[in-house]
Amino acid sequence: MLKTSKLTFLLLIFLSFDMSSNTLSLLCKGEATVADVGQLAGDVTVTSIESRKNYAEIILRFEDDFKKGFIQLPSIMRPNIGGKKIDTWELKDISSSDNEIKANFRINFANKPNISISRVTGRMEYKSRAFPKDFAGDCEVVNLEEKKF
């Protein structure tokens, strides 16, 4: 009886991985540093840009054994120039080791973020010189084909 339950358990784990498509989908939840644009009124109207932290969720999808990948940013992280109407970008220069996944992508002419994900801890770091400047969060494997409702 014990052998049957172990075999069933191992079979369920094996079948839960999609071996045919070689894809990995991640949902990363954390905080992003985004622009907070404000207007200062007075004799002269001045636009001020400051940063603020916001909760955000990023979806990543890697395909073909990390040869291709895509990143989907929430609206709070999409800049006005080159990003408000686009939510998914193709990842470039993807590298994957046993401990880390790295890639970059281009949002617009001034914004080319780099991402790194620890395969040990699940921690994702996103760095850019333009807004959104950074994101730090924890990732978990997610099946994008299954819907909650």
Instruction: Tell me what the mean pLDDT of segment 132-149 comes to.
Output: 91
What's the pLDDT score for residue 17? Answer: 46
Which pLDDT score, from 0 to 100, does residue 109 have? 85
- Give Cα separations from 145 to 15, 22, 148 (angstroms): 15, 14, 10
Look at residue 67 in the predicted model and tell me its pLDDT.
94
Whole-prediction pTM: 0.76
Confidence of residue 12 (pLDDT cuts 50, 70, 90): very low
pLDDT digits (tens, 9 = 90+) for 27-77: 999 999 887 765 555 555 555 567 789 999 999 999 999 999 999 999 989
**Can you spell out the DSSP letters for 26-61?**
EEEEEEEEEEEEEEE-SSS-EEEEEEEEEEEEEEEE
Position 43 scores a pLDDT of 58
Residue of 36, 73, 34, 25 lying closest to 53 (CA atoms): 34
Mean pLDDT of all residues belonging to the chain: 83
Cα three-residue angle 120-125-126, rounded to 5 degrees: 150
Which of 108, 149, 115, 148 has its CA nearest to residue 131? 108
The amino acid that residue 52 corresponds to is: R
pLDDT at 127 (0 to 100) = 96
